[in-house]
Structure 1
Amino acid sequence: MYVFSIAVVTGGNKGIGLEICKELASNGVGLILTARDEKRGKEAVEKLTTDYGFTNVIFHLLDVTDHSSIASLVSFVKNQFGKLDILVNNVAIPGIELSQPIDEKLPQPERAKLFQKYQVQSYQRAFDCLKTNYYGVKNMMEAFLPLLQSSNAGRIVNVSSTRGQLQDLSEKLRKELEDIDNLTVERIDQLTNSFPKHVRDNMVEKDAAQIRCI
């Protein structure tokens, strides 16, 4: 059994995920950096090893939308370390697409206006977003729970964004989601599954006042 802290970070090959990996590794945590793209994942590990001298980072392939891929990672962590101390669910995809590309060199306020103008949300994109951002996170937590319980200080960190704020929902739905004493997983699943259908039927504004995929 491994005696040091062990962490798994999803979507660790770039952006916030890579920075989280860097911070954990610099604090001596045994890190498993995961990504769906094997080449990019291994390049991220090489960067952390070469640029910062970390020797406590390894790569493992992971697709959070694939149960067999999650099971493979759980088996690896169990066999190698016998526990998991930190699970960081960082991987996510946007729930919208852009009808036109936006020049990244433009000032942020102008880019924000163009983003609002060109954003498009489709049934398939909404479905894919929820499959990754909701069910992917849920499946990871359920799969790793036994290994997290084997730790003396197991913890889960879910990275979100401002697009998941409850203030963007209708007052009725917001109050329901805030009532944590009566809210159930089944009800959350029901709401989640209904969203792509509302997008398809153009009923998002009517039913939820601008619900957005995170």
Structure 2
Amino acid sequence: MEKLVYRSSLSGRIASLIDVGFGTFRGFVRLVLGELAFVGGGLRPFVQIRPREVKRLVFVCLGNINRSAFGHAVADKLGAQVASLGLSTTTGAPAFEKAIAAAPVYGIDLGAHRATDFTDFRYQPGDLLLAMEVRHVHELIRRGIPADAIALLGHWSRPHRIHIHDPHLHTDQYFRTCFAIIHSAVANLVEELRLGESPCLSKK
């Protein structure tokens, strides 16, 4: 009986850690695979930037109502020229209610955010598209975005998170984790761009 209770408690603890830290077990697996690809050098082209060539930061996810919406707002607050888009969304859609609720911890208001679908986005030379997932990188390339204009945002997060799993329809706890990762990544990236005298930070 004690062993059964212990196993149940342990499995519950693991499930809780996955939920809070990674969203889902799939999110954890994608993170591990992404980190392995990073360590192996396969993602090197997408973790290097040339600050003086970056004129605008463009945050990318699927719906542009959670992750990229928040990254957009954080970078804007830090003085960057910024935009965001979703690879599969409806232009004009508002931020998700859980995203709106989680953002004020960082002094961010997503109430006025409206999504932009990729089909309504116009790439400009000097754009740096910041993807949340490795599969987003491949999709952007497939849709014609130059590979050297794409980077994985999570590379700048501390702790390092090459894969930032979608929090949509997951718990409030994972929303907070996800936004903490994005906030860290954006702050570190903007500082690197500032030190590199990037023109995308000429706004403020």
User: Normalising by the residue count of structure 2, what TM-score does the alignment of the two structures yield?
Assistant: 0.32
Higher RCO structure, 1 or 2 (CA under 8 Å, sep 6+): 2
User: Normalising by the residue count of structure 1, what TM-score does the alignment of the two structures yield?
Assistant: 0.31
